[in-house]
Amino acid sequence: MKLFKLLPLSLAVAGTLASVGAFAAEYTQQELIDGLEARLAEVEARVGGETKNTQGSAIENLQSEIPLGIVFTGYARYGTAYDADDAKYVGTDGQLNGNASGRLGNEGNGGEFQFGKYFEGDNGTVWDVNLMLEHWGDDVGLKKFYAGATNVFESQKDLYIWAGRDFHQRPQTDLNDYFWMMHDGQGAGFYNLDLNAFKFDLSVVGQAGSGPGDNGRYAVTSKFHGFSTGNVDVAILANYGFKSDSAEDNGTGTTADTAYQIGTQIKMYNQSLVLRYSDNAKDSVFDLAEDRTAMLAQFDGSYSFTEKAGIQYSLAYQTIAGEDEDDRSNSNIIVRPTYQWNDIHSTWLEAGYSVVDYDDFDATNSSWKATLSQNIAIGGMTWSRPMLRFYATVGNSDNEYSGRDENGDLNTPRDEDTLTVGAMFEAWW
């Protein structure tokens, strides 16, 4: 039997950095820790296409036989929701921090469906070829088609080299479903170059255009990771954006020639601190927006009160400013207490509050949301999927400023209440 490091069965998930709260009593503390570490690595893979990035971390020693045939993986959430008031969903106009009022009972349908094939060469190299289709709108589109190889160099067995179209550099936080960096595109690069003190990732990607080619916007992405001291793990990300002449020729013109980002994620026990600065960009250096600056600080974590009761939480603050921007800040907080009745049934209550404060004029937008969800899941862990949810959401969006019309006049302020009941399944596999 030949063994190999797990290759990316990656898919985009809009969800779940897991809480260690709400666990069934039959799990030991070490099982919870081991399960959490493995699940965090898997979730990072699913939301960011970054199993490649995490090969050397929590799942570094996980090995298996190469799967035979076509491997089908994916993520999906579909259901229906009835809105009995002004709006089905709760949101703050101008929000910067993802779904800043909270995502539970506050998001739509969609999914990603991936087919992968794995090979092992006589020379010991291990390959994967993956294709993913996505459905988040009216059409089904091609999101991924890439190939990669590992065990290419004797001295760098974890090094993964790839080329094609892929999810790329998608670090995400769960409760607000926020990808605080995102560089999906077509290109090539490598992950997990072992430099002893740390590991290094580097890729060059072009933003996908309307057809199979790119649109002339490019990103050089990098990540230094594997810095670990005790229970603290540090990753540093740095990206550079630029363009070619075709960015102007194909109608996707930009106002800046270059952009850059620098950020760090510090993980401590069940907590994560994210700091990020963007110049001529926000979440992506593909933006190439002249004079735009964005600064983000975000803290996420979870706490277990008992073996069955826990809480997840997220706090974020972000500012954006620029010549073509409405200068503003977005502050938000989300908490999600959870209770696991047994290894099938659980109850979640999520509450969120978001404020957008504008600098150039006197206007403040705000929203709040509360969702009660009764869940049926395949297992007793917070991250267990598939899951059926039956939920009710109440909330309000008070938007003093909702942009301007074509004449430059202020749009009418909107104050909308939400009362929604719904059912949805969520699954990854």
Q: Write down the pLDDT at residue 253.
A: 67
pLDDT of residue 324: 85
pLDDT band at 43 (very low <50, low <70, confident <90, very high): very low
Say whether pLDDT at 144 is over 70. yes
Instruction: Kindly indicate the confidence band of residue 211, based on its pLDDT and cuts at 50, 70 and 90.
Output: confident
Q: What is the pLDDT of residue 249?
A: 60
Amino acid at 286: F
**5 has a pLDDT exceeding 70:** no
pLDDT digits (tens, 9 = 90+) for 271-308: 999 999 999 999 999 999 999 999 999 999 999 999 99
Share of the chain above pLDDT 90, in %: 73
**Residue 27 pLDDT greater than 60, yes or no:** no
Quick: pLDDT tens for 230-267.
Answer: 889 999 999 999 999 887 665 566 789 999 999 999 99
Residue-wise pLDDT for 148-185, tens only, equals: 999 999 999 999 999 999 999 999 999 999 999 999 99
Which amino acid, residue 228? S
CA distance 34 to 93: 40
The DSSP call for residue 176 is T
Task: For residue 413, give the 3-state DSSP assignment.
Answer: coil
Confidence of residue 373 (pLDDT cuts 50, 70, 90): very high
pTM of the entire predicted model: 0.85
Q: What is the pLDDT of residue 46?
A: 41
Residue type, 267: K
- The residues facing 366 across adjacent strands are 355, 398
How many CB atoms lie under 10 A from the CB of residue 157?
16
pLDDT of residue 49: 44
What pLDDT sits at residue 24? 35
pLDDT at 186 over 50: yes
11-25 residue pLDDT tens: 233 333 333 333 333
Residue 304, helix vs strand vs coil: strand
Residue 124 has pLDDT above 80, yes or no: yes
Q: Is the pLDDT of residue 1 over 70?
A: no
Euclidean distance between CA atoms 286 and 185, whole angstroms: 10
What local confidence, expressed as pLDDT, does residue 196 receive?
92
Give the per-residue pLDDT at 251. 58
Banded model confidence at residue 88, pLDDT cuts 50, 70, 90:
very high
pLDDT tens digits, residue range 44-81?
444 344 433 332 322 333 345 788 899 999 999 999 99
- Looking at every residue in the chain, the average pLDDT score rounds to 86
**What are the structural domains of the chain?**
4-428 (2.40.170.10)
Contacts of 58 (CB under 8 A, 6+ apart): 37, 38, 40, 41
Which of these ranges, 5-19, 374-388, 399-413, has the smallest mean pLDDT?
5-19
Residue 159's pLDDT is what? Answer: 97
Q: Measure the CA–CA gap between 61 and 319, rounded to whole angstroms.
A: 40
Residue pair 284/260 in contact (Cβ under 8 Å)? The answer is no
Least confident of 9-18, 134-143, 223-232, 412-421: 9-18
Q: Residue 58: what pLDDT? A: 27
pLDDT tens, position by position, 306-323: 999 999 999 999 999 998
